[in-house]
Structure 1
Amino acid sequence: MAYLNKEFKFDREENYDAFIKQLALNEESAGKYLSFKPNLTLTKNGDEYTMKISAGDFKKDVTFKVGVPFQESLSNGLTPTSTVTANGDTFTQVQDFGDKGSLTFIREFTPNSLKVTIKSSKWDGVAYRYYVAA
């Protein structure tokens, strides 16, 4: 777990614009998501993990226990039920929006990189975001 407490900086993305488009957001919201290039740090305290997400003045901490559902507050006002599972160095987060579907984020950590695979229950595509250790 050499990736714990290490900051990962956004590097590049693939098909992310198509992912945002399928969300059917208004132009302003879509633009905010497309320009959002956050850094991410994963920390662990006992059996709790915290994902620290930051970009400029934006800072958000998401604290969770593996396998335990929790209510997540998103910046757009939505509050999905999220569950994070772990398999080695891969953390899979499912955000459940009820009848609006779900989003899945598969975060694969190495000591020097982070690959995030993004899927939606209402979309056949897959998007990727890549990060490098700072």
Structure 2
Amino acid sequence: MSFLNKNYKFVSQENFEGFLKAVGVAEDRFEQLMKFAPDQKLTKDGDTYTYYNVTPEGPQEVKFKSGVEIDELIGSTKMPVKSTYVVEGDTMTQTVKSVERGVAVFKREYNGDDLIVTITLDKWDGVAKRFYKAE
């Protein structure tokens, strides 16, 4: 788990626009979210992980235990969702369940100084990817 405590900076993305359209992002927020480039960091204390990122609404911190479903409020609308984070080896998979938007999966694969986030949605046939590099 050499990726713990490393800060990862956004580099590029593929098909993120398709994902945003599939989840029904409002047009007035679309451009802002296309430029969404948060740093990401994961730390661990005992069996509790803390996932940090910076969103358009400011810094966020989520504490979780691997495999345990939690309640989260996401986005500027503070939409309630159920999230389950699972950390296995060099991969962290986040499954987000929303009544309004379906089930999204964010698979974060850490490989040395690289982080690839693969995003899928049960209501969409596409795949989006976001690429990060450790500082």
With the shorter chain as reference, the TM-score category is over 0.9
3-state SS of paired residue (2:74): coil
RMSD across aligned positions (CA): 1.6
Structure having the larger proportion of residues in strand: 2
1:94 aligns with 2:115: no
8 Å contact 2:12–2:130 — kept in the other structure?
A: yes
8 Å contact 2:23–2:101 — kept in the other structure?
A: no
Q: What corresponds to 1:25 in structure 2?
A: 25
Q: How many angstroms apart in 2 are the aligned matches of 1:55 and 1:69?
A: 22
1:108 aligns with 2:104: no
Q: Over residues 21-55 of structure 1, what are the superposed CA-to-partner deviations in whole Å (9 max), with x where a residue is unaligned?
A: 11222211222211111000110011011111026
1:36 aligns with 2:44: no
Q: What corresponds to 2:72 in structure 1?
A: 72
1:52-67 counterparts in 2 under 5 A? 52-54=52-54, 58-67=58-67
3-state SS of paired residue (1:29): helix
- Counterpart residue identity of residue 18, structure 1: G
3-state SS of paired residue (2:80): coil
Comparing 93-102 and 60-69, the one that deviates more? 93-102
8 Å contact 1:12–1:131 — kept in the other structure?
A: yes
Q: Quick one: structure 1 residues 74 and 99, their matched pair in 2 at CA, closer, same or farther if it must change by over 3 Å?
A: closer
Q: How many angstroms apart in 2 are the aligned matches of 1:40 and 1:84?
A: 15
Taking structure 2 as the reference length, the TM-score comes to 0.92
What is the CA-CA distance between 1:18 and the residue it aligns to? Answer: 1.0
Structure 1 portions without partners, runs of 5+: none
1:49 aligns with 2:49: yes
Structure 2 portions without partners, runs of 5+: none
Q: What corresponds to 1:126 in structure 2?
A: 127
Identity %: 37
Comparing 65-74 and 79-88, the one that deviates more? 79-88
3-state SS of paired residue (2:31): helix
Taking structure 1 as the reference length, the TM-score comes to 0.93
